[in-house]
Structure 1
Amino acid sequence: MFLINTKGNAQSVENPDELNKKIAEAQNNTKKVELLLRLSSYYLNKTGEIKADLDNADRINTQANLLSDRLKYKVGKGKSILLGAQIYREKGDIENALEKTKNAIAYSKKNNLIEQQAASYAEFSIYDADVEQKAKYKKLAIQFYKKAGAKEKQATTLKELGELYSINEQPDKAESFLLESLALYKTIKYKKLQGVYNLLSEVNTQKGNYPESLKFALLAEKTAIAVNDTSLQLSSIYNHVGLVYYYLRQNDDAEEYWYKAFEIAKKHNDTEYVRTIGENLCSLLIRQKKEKNALKLIKEMQVKFPSSNMERIMKENYLLFNIYRILNDNATAAIYYRKLADFYGKNADRNGNSIAILRSFASYQYQIKKYDDFYRTVKRLDTLAASAGNNLIRSESYLIWFKADSSRGDYLNAIKHYQLYKSLSDSVFKGEKSKQINSLQIEFESEKKDKNIDLLQQQAKVQQIQIQKDNVIRSVFIGSVVVLILFLAFLYNSFRIKKKKNEALEIQRQQINEQNELNKKMLIEKEWLLKEIHHRVKNNLQIVISLLNTQSAYLDNEDALMAIQNSQHRMHAMSLIHQKLYQSDNLANIDMSWYIYELISYMKECFNTDNKIHFVLDTEKVCLDVAKAVPLGLIINEAINNAIKYAFPSNRKGEVIISLKKIENNDYKLIIADNGVGLPEDFHDTERDSLGMNLMMGLTDQIDGNFEMKNDNGLKITITFTRNTEFEVIDESSEII
């Protein structure tokens, strides 16, 4: 989806009451000018765009300007001219703002005010529409700040330059300036680095480097908490952490951070932040197939947080376009498609956000079967994603490319694009990158726990000191010289004994720790090997499926093609098992509710049953080992395959129910039932000598289960079996797809 990052900077910590008091007490000197300028800046940068605040800023700046003239204070005069330009800009009077900025540049040049010249060029860069021209003036400002020795302002302008390139989707340029800014900030021991870390996270997200993006996002959060930043910038940071988790498909983490960002934005009553984060939450709801909830949230924001900003309106149109597209309301989706195409261009080459727009355009064009437009769009999308180094976007585009090729019967290109999809998908979510991401999360959580441990240790030390004081006082009152000497002797002897015991215990502890570390290493190695085995098995099955698909292109015999297709389905059923095992932390068991959902989705896609057969899933969360899961998956595959092919002849519509539930103790029942034509009346056991039927009965015997098949308003297959080990059922779900 078209996800949005918020740009946030920490608010001023000036106290206007204290500044007014100091101004009233100050004499008419340069110090008073600086105080007036600080107070004017406070009202200018105050959260919100209230006219009264801008009027106050203008009035106070005029006082500073007049006093600077009387004192012939050139620095104050230069600052006042530039501040006036910024006030005009904030009021929306761009013409006067630009004229004032030019005056500030001329005045600072004439009076050799190097730092003011830098600040004036930084302001001047705002008014030019061309990115490189903006960058040119930013670079001039950086040079003058460097010449003036103003390292903090130099670092800040470098950060702004990096942000400029980031906004214009030039992440490589942005990253170099941001890293330079970070290094300069660190040389002056500047603590509030959360803004730089947040931008570095953003540019790495643009490049598709999610481990690095997550590292900087968590650093931004850690730094903001350390410096007690509760401003809107914290909302921006939480928003971007949520973005990274969204791209990593860790939906629960993304939801947690976005709701934290949402609450901060509402607390500050900032419409743009609330809308931005609310729209990201809509994207998450769309991913979770809660399109109606997303539509409801958009309508609520339209009422409670209206916006007239065209970019904001187009982002809203983008979300509505995707919601109606996914709901298959192509007529309504077409309305928003035309709006987006007019604003961004059919090739999404205007107003930025090209990749996100092209992704949705490609999905829509594939959906309405405009293949010429689709291929043009998806090729451009792949080129842009490749130039940005974003393998996640490329993998998703290759998946839909594969579907389009398959729909048109171009099987050779379909195989090529499917293999590219799998290769890029694995490179994003598997292997070393997944380890880096997990390591970053563990490190961040460990630091939080370490802080809590340190706090508890400090409290324990305070308590221990108090106890020692009480013991000393008690000993003074109840002890005597003789008893004290005997007591000290006894303590000394006890200390020696305890010291020897402690030394022995310390040696034992070290040995135990060494053994534990060795055991941990062995366990990690074994888990890694198991994951690698499951990964390779899955890949090998996928290769066989691709080979069978290639072979089918050269066969004319319908029975042979059907046999190959059935074999592909069976192999995919087994492949899903191994895929889930190597993607999860639990290498022993499979969540069958997830597995059945994925298998049915695959069967629906293969046979295109959306308009004909309605599938109902009524499953509990059941965890089975591989020995049970693989046979059970093959049984479900065969039963659904038969139902799709034979239960609803002559385009008859119907329903297939798949139920997996616990009966009692460790006994479970699997039911696959349809309301189709059922078995013929003269059906008898000898007619069970088909490969599919024998396979289902043989696999049932393999899991020591009971197989039953009968007519019950259609065909009903019931399999009861016993699970090998005991697990608690966490929750139950019933879902209709």
Structure 2
Amino acid sequence: MKFNFTYLRIFSSVILLFSAFLLASGQPKEDPKQLEKEISKAGNNTQKVELLIRLSDYYLTKEGEIKSDIDKANQLRQEAQKLSNSLDYKLGNGKLMLLDAQITREKGESKMAQKKTNEALSYAIKNNLSVLPDIYRELCAYEGYEEEDFRKKIKYLELAIPLYKKYKFFKKKGDALKDLGDYYSIIGENQKSLELLENAVNVYKSIGFKELQGVYTLISGNYGILQNSQLSLQYALLAEKTAEDVDDKSYQWCTIYNHLGLAYYDVLKYTQAFANFEKSLDIAIKHKNISDINVLTYNLASLYCQQKDYRNALRTLKRTEKTYPPTDEETKIRQLFMFTICYSLLKQPHKAEPYFNELLKKYKESDVGLYYKLNGIIIYLQNAGRVEETYAYLDKFREFAKKSNRLILYSQIELLAYQSDHASKKYESAIKHLKQHQVFRDSLFNMEKLKHSEALELQFETEKKDKNIKLLTHQRKLQEAKIQNERVIRYVFIGSLLALVLFLAILYNSFRIKKKKNKELELKRKQIDEQNEQLKKLLAEKEWLLKEIHHRVKNNLQIVISLLNTQSAYLDNEDALMAIQNSQHRMHAMSLIHQKLYQSDNLSMIDMSWYMYELINYIRECYSSENKIKFTVNAEKVFLDVAQAVPMGLIINEAVINTTKYAFPDDKKGEVTVSFKNTGNDDYELIISDNGVGLPAGFDMDATESLGMNLMRGLTDQLDGNFSIENNNGLKITIIFRKNTEIEAHEK
């Protein structure tokens, strides 16, 4: 069992999209700011009425359905109406009656809008106004989408077109011809549609109107239905190119991509068809146009079915089934039809059955979507093993085809009849139906192709005669100019040849010079690379040597500390022992710095927060003062070079050791605080304070011979800093100095 999905084009290509075409073929684009300026300058005359009508129409037809735009359009209409009444301007009154009806329709009040349009029609006929054809065109908006509705629309437009011609409204005439061609296509008179659309193109071109993509799309659709796939694709591509040339950014792209997909579908280029259908569907989803989403979903599903990929067809249908359910009856029927045939052709009648039952129910209710109902019912019955029941529906299908009088339907009926006879083993009858199906299909293609080829031949012969007349008229002038042209061409050729030789010589010389310079640059680059490698090696050796020096200095200091420790074992003098111990502490303070430097990647800078913490811990352990004295270190993460880190470490060592030894006599408990912080820019402050007994009364710092005090002052001078001491509820030593930034600047 099979179903020929190619024939579904006749139903899917004509549904998209009246709104897009109307947007593309409306009034010329207006500049609202310019109109407002002209209105402000105009006096209270008919010119101002016309300007107000144009500005109102701009807001009414502005893309998007924004209430404020409709309100603005109505406000401008009322202003124009008041002025027009005062001037007794009949044409203005007629235009404003039509505008009032259009605004009412845009608000969703269709019945009231239709009543106002009929009132405008009576007024225009009575006063013989040039707005009459616009009113006829507006009346089309109130008809439905059945065949008789489209025939009413056709009558309105056939009344409007001669009037547009009479009043020389050529742009509007082109728009009306295009819409009329669209309507004839929908009722199946495709050849008539093509004639009207070609007339529309001629009218548009005569006034220099370039936005012809909508017309080309409709022409493509007609050729597709007439099975002229090459011309269908040609015009679909022309529509795409035209839209790109005029920089079209409207919703009309949805229609263009859809027709491109259908055209590629007809020439069996399914990859391109899929791509264009998907692009069209994306636009429809972006604008939440439910009717178009359902049409494009149907087209994509049909394309999958054409390739017998029924599972992907079902996936496509389910993609929009819940999010964008169909709103009109025919689209609902078409969706039921696709689910029915997909599950049927997948040999899953139990899944197809609910859709079939719903389709059968709707078949009994009305004739809407009869084509889809009959096709779906027959295909389900064929695949469910109920072939005998199909013959009654085939008879109904033949009655439907007689009313529509389309060969494409007869071809489809014969294909379905062949499948039923073949399943019933009526082979002789099946062969007859298959042959008749082929005859109808060939007749459909050949008859329409013959008509179109005759029209093309006539057009070609006419153009050929016109061209021959022009050729004969200009033949003498061409012969006279021929010799002169040949001479000019000869001179131009010789001159061009010489210029080319000269250019090649210059190009070759430039190439040689450039090649030579490239060699020189390459040689210099190699030399620079070699020098860089040598510098890297020297830098690595320098870093290794610095680490080795710091390591050895630290080791030598440790050896000296050990020697002093050994020497102290042979001394009984308390002062000598104290001097050796103090020296050991000072050397350890310096040793810590060199230890940190050879262990880190930075060989020139020391982290003072780490260093102060380690040094205080060492002093606390040496004097076993954990329980007696509480040490607090508040140090910011500051990096100092060795020249400043060593004296600062020795200062902290001297101050803290002296505090530990003398500030808290008789096992008195206390607290020692060491802080180091930045005070602005590169200025830093070191404070060592305690809450001990402080200095004795009358202590003169300048007259003292204390080694520790003199050592701290001397080390402060090395830092180029200021040394101060405060004796108040304990001792507070403050040292302020500027950080040396030469090494950091050099590294940057």
Tell whether 2:240 aligns with 1:221: yes
Structure 2: how far apart are the matches of 1:425 and 1:40? Answer: 52
| Structure 2 CA distance for aligned equivalents of residues 137 and 227 of structure 1 | 31
From 366, 380, 401, give the equivalent of 1:364: 380
Residue 92 of structure 1 aligns to a residue whose secondary structure is coil
- Tell me the SS of whatever aligns to 1:230: coil
Cα offset, 1:384, TM superposition: 6.8
- Contact 2:334–2:372 (Cα < 8 Å) also in 1: no
Instruction: Give distance in 1, aligned partners of 2:75 and 2:41.
Output: 19
2:133 to 108, 118, 122: 118
SS in 2 for 1:285: helix
Which residues in structure 2 correspond to 1:515-594 (within 5 Å)?
none
**Structure label with greater radius of gyration:** 2
1:103-140 C-alpha deviation (Å, 9 max, x unpaired): 21122123221x21111122224435643333222211
Superposed displacement of residue 422, structure 1: 5.5
Structure 2 distance, partners of 1:314, 1:85, is 34
Q: Deviations over 1:202-260 (max 9, x none)?
A: 23333333333333323322322222222111220110121232244331121121123
Is 1:183 the equivalent of 2:202? yes
Question: Per the alignment, do residues 196 and 497 of structure 1 end up closer, same or farther by CA in structure 2, a change over 3 Å counting?
Answer: closer
Match of 1:280 among 269, 294, 299: 299
Kept in 1: contact 2:224–2:263 (CA 8 A): yes
Output the CA distance in 2 between the equivalents of 1:82 and 1:494: 70
Q: Secondary structure at the match of 2:347?
A: coil
Kept in 2: contact 1:241–1:254 (CA 8 A): yes
Shift of 1:148: 1.6
Flag the 1:58–1:327 CA change in 2: closer, same or farther, 3 A.
Answer: farther
Alignment size in residue pairs? 442
**1:82 and 2:85 matched:** no
- Structure 1 residues 21 and 210: CA distance shift in structure 2, 3 A: same
> What pairs with 1:222-621 in structure 2 (closer than 5 Å)?
222-306=241-325, 308-343=327-362, 350-351=367-368, 354-378=370-394, 397-421=413-437, 495=498
The residue identity in structure 2 corresponding to 1:90 is E
Separation in structure 2 between the aligned mates of residue 276 and residue 93 of structure 1, nearest angstrom: 27
- Asked whether the 8 Å contact 2:337–2:372 carries over to 1, the reply is no
Code of the residue aligned with 2:158 in structure 1: it is K
Tell whether the 8 Å contact from 1:74 to 1:111 is kept in structure 2 after alignment: yes
Q: CA deviation at 1:102?
A: 1.5
- Looking at structure 2, the residues matched to 188 and 170 of structure 1 have their Cα atoms a distance apart, in angstroms, of 28
2:134 maps to amino acid: A
Deviations 1:22-65 (A, max 9, x none): 54555444343333323322332233444443333323222222
Mapped partners of 1:91, 1:65: distance in 2: 19
Residue 158 of structure 1 corresponds to 177
The TM-score, its normalising length taken from structure 2, stands at 0.52
Given that 1:392 and 1:428 are in contact with CA atoms closer than 8 Å, whether structure 2 keeps it comes out as yes
Provide the residue aligned with 2:229 in structure 1. Answer: 210
Please list the CA deviations of residues 273-325 of structure 1 after superposition, one character each: whole Å capped at 9, or x if unmatched: 33432332232234344444444443442454455444443333333333333
Distance in 2 (alpha carbons) for counterparts of 1:29 and 1:336: 65
Quick one: distance in 1 between partners of 2:55 and 2:445? 51
Do residues 171 (structure 1) and 190 (structure 2) align?
yes
Matches within 5 A, 1:30-49: 30-49=46-65
C-alpha RMSD of the superposition? 4.0
Displacement after TM superposition at 1:163 (Å)? 1.8
Question: 2:110 matched to which residue of 1?
Answer: 94
- What is the aligned partner in structure 1 of residue 161 from structure 2? 142
Q: Which residues of structure 2 form unaligned runs of 5+?
A: 454-493, 503-748
Q: Which residue does the alignment assign to 2:72?
A: 56
How many angstroms apart in 2 are the aligned matches of 1:66 and 1:350? 50
Amino acid in the other structure paired with 1:223? T
Q: Which digits, 9 at most, give the CA deviation of each residue in 1:600-627, with x for residues without a partner? A: xxxxxxxxxxxxxxxxxxxxxxxxxxxx
Structure 2: distance between partners of 1:55 and 1:118: 26
Q: Distance in 2 between matches of 1:290 and 1:496?
A: 63
1:494 and 1:214, CA in 2 relative to 1: closer, same or farther beyond 3 A?
closer
Residue 133 of structure 2 aligns to which amino acid in structure 1? Answer: A
- The one-letter amino acid paired with 1:106 is S
- Quote the residue 2:87 is aligned against: 71
Q: CA deviation at 1:19?
A: 4.2
- Against the structure 1 CA distance between its residues 128 and 392, is the aligned structure 2 distance closer, same or farther, given a 3 Å change threshold? closer
Partner of 2:656: none
Q: What is the one-letter code of the residue matched to 1:234?
A: W
Within-5 A mapping of 1:659-674: none
SS in 2 for 1:43: helix
Counterpart of 1:528 in structure 2 is: none
Q: Note closer, same or farther for the CA distance 1:405–1:56 as it changes in structure 2 (3 Å cut).
A: same
Distance 1:41 1:376, change over 3 A: farther
Q: Secondary structure at the match of 1:229?
A: coil
Distance in 2, matches of 1:187 and 1:412, equals: 59
Q: Give secondary structure in 2 for the equivalent of 1:315.
A: helix
C-alpha distance 294-402 of structure 1, shift in aligned 2 (>3 A): closer
In 2, are the aligned partners of 1:248 and 1:429 still within 8 Å (CA)?
A: no
Q: Distance in 2 between matches of 1:43 and 1:494?
A: 62
Q: CA deviation at 1:72?
A: 2.9
1:183-209: per-residue Cα shift (whole Å, max 9, x none)? Answer: 333443432222222222223333333
8 A Cα contact 1:158 1:181, kept in partner = yes
Counterparts of 2:499 and 2:294 in 1: how far apart (Å)? 69
* Corresponding residue SS for 1:137: helix
Distance apart, 1:165 and its partner CA? 2.7
Which residue identity is paired with 1:98? Q
1:207, 1:388 within 8 Å by CA — same for their partners in 2? no
Say if 2:291 and 2:327, in contact at 8 Å, map to a contact too.
no
TM-score by length of 1: 0.52
Alignment of 1:650-729 (within 5 A): none
1:361-417 superposed Cα distances (whole Å, 9 cap, x missing partner): 332232234445523444665787799897776656544433322222222122223
SS in structure 1 opposite 2:131?
helix
CA spacing shift, 1:414–1:494, aligned 2, 3 Å? closer
Distance 1:277 1:493 in 2: 57
Q: Distance in 2 between matches of 1:53 and 1:335?
A: 46
Aligned to 1:279, the other structure's residue is in SS state: helix
Q: Decide whether aligned partners of structure 1 residues 293 and 229 sit closer, same or farther in structure 2, where only a CA change above 3 A counts.
A: same
AA partner of residue 152 (structure 1): K
User: How has the CA–CA distance of structure 1 residues 212 and 381 changed in structure 2, closer, same or farther, with 3 Å as cutoff?
Assistant: farther
> SS state of the match for residue 367, structure 2?
coil
Higher mean C-alpha displacement, 336-345 vs 89-98: 336-345
User: What's the offset of the Cα at 1:335?
Assistant: 3.4
> How far, CA to CA, are the matches of 1:56 and 1:27 in structure 2?
21
Q: Distance in 2 between matches of 1:309 and 1:22?
A: 45
Contact 1:206/1:388 (8 A) holds in 2: no
CA contact (8 A) 2:344 2:380 kept: yes
